[in-house]
Amino acid sequence: MPIPVTCPGCLTRFTVSDKYAGKTGPCPKCKKQLVVPDKSQEVVIHAPETAGPKDTKGVAVLKPLKRAEFKLSGIELLVAGVLLVCSVGFAIYARMGFSDVPWWMPSLGVLVLAFPLAWIGYTFFHDDELGEYSGKERLLRVGACAAVFAISWGLYWFLAYYLGNKSLAQVDAVQFAVFVVLMFVVGTLGSMLSMELELGQSLLHYSMFFATTFILAMVMGISIAEPLSNSDSNSPYPIKKPTNLNLPKPAAGKN
């Protein structure tokens, strides 16, 4: 078997027959004398030992797990596209068709979007090195996560009315900030417990759902908080403008 040699003078690489192992000879390029490495200096790279059961030939029975790279399937891409178009169309219809959007329309939107957004978000943010859930187990875990995501908006509405707000448009800036923080705590914990993601991944997972539903609520024209309201149409205490009383003009004074 040929022995690879590198000249220390000119760094030329060449091979010699193994019968010259350990002998001294000139470099074919610079003619500098060098010693051909022998078998004791040969570096052998062994394959890693495989754990687990083996057959009679010593070959491992269990195959190693392959790393699954992030990739949305064609069905997932199609569902995401249809979902996006339908959601935007539904939000525009609600804004154009109703002066005051009924409460059931945003609630229906949250319930419909929770599962697909939890599914797609998990595909985005799970750790490829650890693999991913699939089959029935994935359906159950995503369903539980989607339920927590939907409940987070229910928590927002419950707290808003529990604190005496007669409409969401009355929620002030402080309340809005506190409610959103509580929503993120609930949603992130739900993602961590159901999908077993890390804290940062779970935060991004819920942020995707929150951002999507929040933007669609804005497209619908729903005033979910006072700082985000552009009008007083949803306020239970509208400000009445003074009317023109058309008082009679005073009579001209006599000279």
Note down pLDDT in tens along the chain; length 255 residues. Answer: 678 888 888 888 888 887 888 888 888 888 888 888 876 665 656 556 656 666 676 666 665 544 445 566 777 788 888 888 999 999 999 889 888 888 899 999 999 999 999 999 998 888 777 778 888 999 999 999 999 999 999 999 999 999 999 889 899 999 999 999 999 999 999 999 999 999 999 999 999 999 999 999 999 988 899 988 754 444 433 434 444 445 555 555 554
CA distances from 137 to 11, 122, 142, 143, 233 (A): 59, 13, 9, 10, 46
Is position 218 within any domain?
yes
| β-bridge mates for residue 33, sequence order | 26
Domain count of the fold of the chain? 2
On the 0-12 / 13-18 / 19+ scale of CB atoms within 10 A, 94 is buried
Based on the fold, state whether residues 110 and 176 are members of the same structural domain.
Answer: yes
C-alpha atoms less than 13 angstroms from C-alpha of 90 in its C-beta half-sphere: 20
pTM for this one? 0.63
Which of 177, 174, 187, 236 has its CA nearest to residue 213?
A: 187
Q: In terms of domains, do 128 and 199 share one?
A: yes
The per-residue pLDDT for 72 is: 63
CA distance 56 to 193: 43
Whether residue 48 is contained in a domain is answered as no
Do 129 and 220 belong together in one domain?
yes
- CB count in 10 Å sphere of residue 166: 12
Residue 244 lies in a domain: no
pLDDT score for 173: 94
**pLDDT for residue 18:** 78
In a domain, 49, yes or no: no
The reply to whether 118 and 224 lie within a common domain is: yes
Please check whether residue 207 is in contact with residue 141, taking contact to mean a CB–CB distance below 8 angstroms.
no
Mean residue pLDDT across the chain: 81
| Inside any domain, residue 28 | yes
Coil/strand/helix, residue 3: strand
Q: What domain range includes position 28?
A: 3-41
> Looking at residue 200, what is its pLDDT?
93
Q: What is the pLDDT of residue 48?
A: 60
Shared domain for 94 and 190, answered yes or no, is yes
Distance CA 32, CA 176 (A): 81
Task: Give yes or no: residues 31 and 91 share one domain.
Answer: no
Residue 246 is assigned to a structural domain of this protein: no
**Calpha distance 201→190 (Å, rounded):** 12
Are 113 and 199 part of one and the same domain?
yes
In a domain, 104, yes or no: yes
Token pair recorded at residue 89: 């169309």
SS3 content of the chain, % helix, strand, coil (to 5): 55, 5, 40
Element (H, E) at 90: helix 74-97
Residues near 251 by Cβ (< 8 Å), separated by ≥ 6? none
User: How many other CB atoms sit within 10 Å of the CB of residue 117?
Assistant: 26
Are residues 101 and 169 both part of a single domain? yes
**Rounded Cα gap, residues 171 and 164, in angstroms:** 9
Do 127 and 11 lie in one domain? The reply is no
**34 and 80, same domain (yes or no):** no
7 & 98 share domain: no
Strand positions, DSSP E, the chain:
3-6, 13-16, 24-26, 33-35
Same domain, 34 and 86: no
Whether 235 maps to a domain, the answer reads: no
Query: What pLDDT is attached to residue 83?
Result: 85
